[in-house]
Amino acid sequence: MKNNSFNIAVFFAAIKDYILIAAVAAVIITGSYFVIFSKSTSEKAESSGESTSEDSSGSASLETPVRNTNEDRKIYYPENKNQFGSNKFNPDSKVERKDIKTQSVEKGTFEKTEVKSGVPEGSAADITGTKGSYSVSETGSISGRALLEESYYHEGSTVIIRQDKVEIAVKTNEKGEFSFMMVPVGSYKLLAKAEEYYPVAKEGVKVEKNKNQKLGDIILKPDFDTAYPRITRSKPERGALDVQIPNTFGISELEAGNTNMFMAFDFSKPMDKDSVEKAVIITPVVRFSVSWVGSRRLIVKCDTLAEENPIKPNTQYKVSFKEGAVAIDGKKLVKAEPFTFTTGGMKFIGSVPADSKLHSPSNRSLEFYFNFPVDKNSVTPSNIIVYPGLKGRLLLKDNKENQISFTAEKFLPSDTAFTVTLKKDLKGGTGGTLGADVIVNFTTEPLKVMTTWPKDEEKNILTSGFPYVFFNSNVKKETVEKAISLKPDITAELVWKIDDTNIEYCIMKHKPYFNVSTEYTINIADSVVDLYDKKLKEPYKFKFKTESCRVSYMQPGEGSMNVDPKSGIKIIFNTVMNHEETEKFVSIEPKTEVVFLWSSPDNYDILNIEAKNGWEPHSSYIFRVAKVAQGKNGESLIKDFKGVIYIK
């Protein structure tokens, strides 16, 4: 799983009794990052506008690392690849900082593995020794374009800025664009260069605080005879190693289902397409097809799942162009050394949960993705090790042989750190192994209330509604029954249910209806524990307010047709009403001699209206209750009620 790469130049110089640190130089260009930290005295650096520097008034300590001089530019790299393995950038743990975790790839080259805000906890740089104060310098940026004359495509040129012992390099994108971000204020020399093109240098490129220095286009002229066509660029680049080729799931989670690998060759002149296509030779033999972008870029497509001669992993390929390829003006393609590249092997490309991420304990599944199918005989507990141990089942999915899943028998314990080791001997279905152990760390979330109904501060809750509570893991029910309470007091029973995702939740079934226009509070103490006795992270409380006094519905329902003439008509209120007063505000059209019968189950009221002589057939009746009708506690109806029925 690739991260943005970091090229870090670290250098030290002795000044009097302390050590000057100029540390990490950083540039952002099409996804690549470089960072520069420069020496500061005890003053704090200002941070505003374009500068992303932070207050760095905390203490740091230094010791001179083992150094390796890189030619005459005196850019120092640690000889020990693990030297940058601990972080003491903020030893007193008082100042909040941003921590960029890295791992060494080769001398001077690092990959970002994680960025955190707060007090650093992981590896960034080995800084030990005498304490001092350091801050990020004032910065600006540089941007522009480096264009290749006689080329439609301009990616891959190198642009370098230099100042004293500091050198920062970036690559251009396909449009020739480049950008240097967070560059310390000052004057720089800029150099743009590309293979087979004359370099261009610019002196006195000034970087000002919080400003972007936008340069004019830099034109690189070809260092070859432009009368004859030649290949100016290739993808992969000549001699490239570990070229990743996708297979079914793709080389990354963003390319699911992609099985094609594409090669591109750019020519210095418009080409006769048919002559070029006949000249392409790939060894070992690979089945391929071609397409063009204009007449100067050839695209060669190979398929890793082709039935015949697919492109294979861990293989060196050679692409050459035999004689006969010509430009549209008939000039022959300049003969060049074959383009070679070596495909990569089996790679781990991602997981759910991702490394160093939180994971819900209710999610029993762990998934691991690879760029090639995995040998099913290799999917064993000895090759996929989960610690602490969990009982569960390993599975290589039939429809996604790049995906290994582990499903635990039970929910995972909450607030627990896990390490999954994918052993280096894990085999690919097309040969080869993982090559090195892959470690995936994740931590399950603390036990917490995941959701409730009603939501906190929710209004107009039905008096007949039953609140429910979801936790993010299954819990010991008896601990919930002791920990949960409802105010004002009301008799309620906890009933447990299981949803479609197999998560248990509890419902508070209260026997009487809630009172109208009343605020209720549900408290859950932190004594609740999951099945592994992990406690609730913190007490939880939510409150809600019930609806106002109203007519809930009538029966038969409003607008009902063909009602039996002998039926009683029920009007249901959401609270117990003042019966005598309410009857004064009930009216029926047309006027009919009726009998009122009341029943009051569970803190609500049902008014049953019966016609002494039955309802007139083939007639309609309108029932009204004026909003001045009151509940037993003096609450008036929130609005008038009107309902119509039709007698058969």
Top-confidence residue, 565 or 138 = 565
Across residues 480-486, what is the average pLDDT? 96
Q: Give the CATH fold of the 231-343 domain.
A: Immunoglobulin-like (2.60.40)
Q: Average pLDDT of the chain?
A: 79
Give φ, ψ of 535 to 5 degrees: -80, 155
Asked if residue 442 lies in contact with residue 367, where contact means CB atoms within 8 angstroms, the answer is no
pLDDT at 213 over 60: yes
Across residues 66-70, what is the average pLDDT? 31
Domain 139-220 listed as CATH 2.60.40.10:
yes
What integer pLDDT is reported at residue 80 of this predicted model? 32
* Lowest model confidence (mean pLDDT) among 68-82, 338-352, 504-518: 68-82
Share of the chain above pLDDT 70, in %: 77
User: For the segment 354-365, what is each residue's pLDDT rounded down to a tens digit?
Assistant: 888 889 898 889
pLDDT at 58 over 80: no
Same fold yes or no, 139-220 and 551-646: yes
Distance CA 600, CA 609 (A): 15
Distance CA 62, CA 89 (A): 9
Numbers of helices and strands, H then E, in the chain:
3, 50
pLDDT at 456 over 70: yes
What integer pLDDT is reported at residue 176 of this predicted model? 92
* pLDDT tier for residue 126 given thresholds of 50, 70 and 90: very low
What integer pLDDT is reported at residue 118 of this predicted model? 40
Distance CA 29, CA 143 (A): 10
Asked if residue 420 lies in contact with residue 390, where contact means CB atoms within 8 angstroms, the answer is no
First to last CA, the chain: 73
Distance CA 134, CA 40 (A): 5
362: left (phi over 0), alpha (psi -120 to 50) or beta: alpha
CA atoms within a 13 Å half-sphere pointing along the CA-CB vector of 25 = 26
Three-point CA angle 28, 30, 35, nearest 5°:
15
* pLDDT tier for residue 73 given thresholds of 50, 70 and 90: very low
Asked if residue 462 lies in contact with residue 544, where contact means CB atoms within 8 angstroms, the answer is no
Top-confidence residue, 538 or 30 = 538
Task: Return the number of other C-beta atoms located less than 10 Å from residue 303's C-beta.
Answer: 20
pLDDT at 291 over 60: yes
* Lowest model confidence (mean pLDDT) among 12-26, 179-193, 466-480: 12-26
Distance CA 636, CA 626 (A): 9
Domain at 551-646: CATH code:
2.60.40.3710
What integer pLDDT is reported at residue 257 of this predicted model? 58
Q: Give the CATH fold of the 356-441 domain.
A: Immunoglobulin-like (2.60.40)
Q: Which CATH class is domain 449-546?
A: mainly beta
* pTM beyond 0.85, yes or no: no
Across residues 481-487, what is the average pLDDT? 95
Asked if residue 536 lies in contact with residue 472, where contact means CB atoms within 8 angstroms, the answer is no
67: left (phi over 0), alpha (psi -120 to 50) or beta: beta
For strands 569-573 and 605-611, give the pairing: antiparallel
Paired tokens of 405: 């899943």
pLDDT at 290 over 90: yes
pLDDT at 539 over 90: yes
Radius of gyration of the chain, Cα coordinates, nearest whole angstrom: 37
Beta bridge partners of 454: none
Q: Sign of dihedral through CA atoms 597, 601, 606, 608?
A: negative
* pLDDT tier for residue 580 given thresholds of 50, 70 and 90: very high
Locate the domains of the chain by residue range: 5-133, 139-220, 231-343, 356-441, 449-546, 551-646
For strands 18-22 and 11-15, give the pairing: antiparallel
* pLDDT tier for residue 95 given thresholds of 50, 70 and 90: very low
Place of tokens 């009602």: 563
pLDDT at 106 over 60: no
